[in-house]
Each structure stands twice: as structure tokens, then as C-alpha cells.
Amino acid sequence: MNPFDPTIEFSRKIFDNDRNCTAIDTATGELCGETETMKIIDEFQKLYEARIENVDQEFESEFDKVSMKLEISKEWIKNLKEQNVMLVQVVEDLEQAACNRVKLLEERLKHSSVLVSGNISKSMNTEKTINTLSNRVSDLEKDEKCMQQKIEFLQSDIRGLLELIRRAVEENHWNLDDIKFFEIQPSDIPVPTANCTCNEVNINLDAAKRFKLRIQISHDFMNKSDYPLDGSICMIQSSHPTTN
């Protein structure tokens, strides 16, 4: 058995005990695995320097001293080689662990990117839907205003027709003076024939009042039932109302 085997075995134990960092990863609970290279080298250097110094005290013959120091040096070199192999292996393990962590981070980043992209897409679709609904509400509000104005114009035209009928019945005169129409034209109103007087014309005031009542009922119904208004029906003339 080689007389230096115990020393070699001791040095290997030192290397095995010191080569791994004792710090614990709080996320995984595992040892960090980093190599304290300089500390290991210092331990080996001190160990072999001490052995070489002891040779002078253990042997008297110069030849034995030189032979023993040479043998210790060979063992030192051999152990240094083993240390280098171990250190390279440790470095490779650390590199592999780093690569695995980088790949894991890349996968998480890609997954997060997909989630963010999906959320952005949903947000854009939601915003588009909100804008569409907002525009629709705005259009409906405009249609409601136009319909309200149209109803007011029709009610004004009904009052004008009633006034025209009143003049014909009470004054026996078909007179459109100072009567304003919005939705109808004076030419649309039939004029009594020339060979008859206004009081001979069969004018039914009750029918006209019932027509006015139907208009009012329709107006109330649309206000209560949120009747959907179409923008195409809102064709109010921008010019001034017709005056006769």
C-alpha cells in the first residue's frame, strides 16, 4: 500500500467537503453548488507544503529526502490533476444548471407574453365593442331628438289645420294667412270648389280632433316603450318652416 494514500484520501475529503457552497436556495431548498476554488487550492497547497517540510525531519539521508520530496511532488501533481477534472465537472454542472434556468425563464416569458397578448387583444375587442355601443347610443339619441321634433311639427300642423277648419266653419272663409305648416305643404290641402260655400262643405271637426288624439297617443306610446328609432326617418328640413 502506498504510504501517502491516507494523505491523498484526506485531501480528497477536504475537496469533497469544500467544493460545494453551503448556501441554500430559498426558492427550491437546494444547495447552491458553487465551487470555492481558491479555498480548495490553498488547502492543498498548505497540506503538501507541510508534508515536504516534514521530510527533512523524518529522513537523515539526503538521497532519501530528495526521493521522498520527489514522490510527494508527484502525488501533489496527480491530485492537482484530479482537482482540475473535478473543477471542470463542477463548472460544467453549473453551466448546465444555468442553461436549464435560462430555458425555464424563456418558457415562462413566452407564456407570460402569450397571456399579455391575449389580454391586450381582449381589451382591444372590448374597447371596440364599447365604442360601437357608444356610437349606437349617440345615434339613437339623435334619432330620438329628430323624432321628437317631427312629432312637434306634426302637432303644429294639426293645430294649423284645425285653425283653418275653424275659419271655414265660423267665418265662412278659406284663409291660410298666418298659418304655418312644417310637414305638409299648402298645396296638399284640398280647397273647396268654387260653386259651394264653406258652410256647405262637410267638415267633421270631431274626426279631426280624434286624429289629433291618435297622434298624441302614439307619441306617448313611443316615450314609454323606448320605441327603436331609425336614423332614416329623421329627415327634417333645415330651412325655415313654410309660412302662408
What's the sign of the alpha-carbon dihedral 85, 91, 93, 99?
negative
pLDDT in tens, the chain (244 residues): 344 444 445 445 544 554 445 555 566 665 554 546 677 778 878 888 888 888 888 888 888 888 888 988 888 888 888 888 888 998 999 999 999 999 999 999 999 988 998 888 888 999 899 999 999 999 999 999 999 999 999 999 899 989 888 888 888 888 888 888 888 888 888 877 655 554 444 444 555 555 566 666 655 655 554 444 444 444 434 444 444 4
Identify the three-state secondary structure at position 25. Answer: coil
Residue 54 confidence (pLDDT): 86
Give residue 7's pLDDT: 46
Tell me the three cell numbers of residue 109: 416569458
d(CA 90, CA 134): 65
Instruction: Map out the domains of the chain as residue ranges.
Output: 36-127
User: Rounded to two decimals, what is the model's pTM?
Assistant: 0.38
In 3D space, the residue among 161, 163, 203, 168 whose CA is nearest the CA of residue 183 turns out to be 161
What is the length of the chain?
244
Query: What is the C-alpha separation between 127 and 120, in angstroms, rounded?
Result: 10
pLDDT at 175: 83
pLDDT at residue 51 in the model: 86
The set of cell numbers assigned to 35 is 465551487
- Write phi, then psi, for 178 (nearest 5 degrees): 65, 15
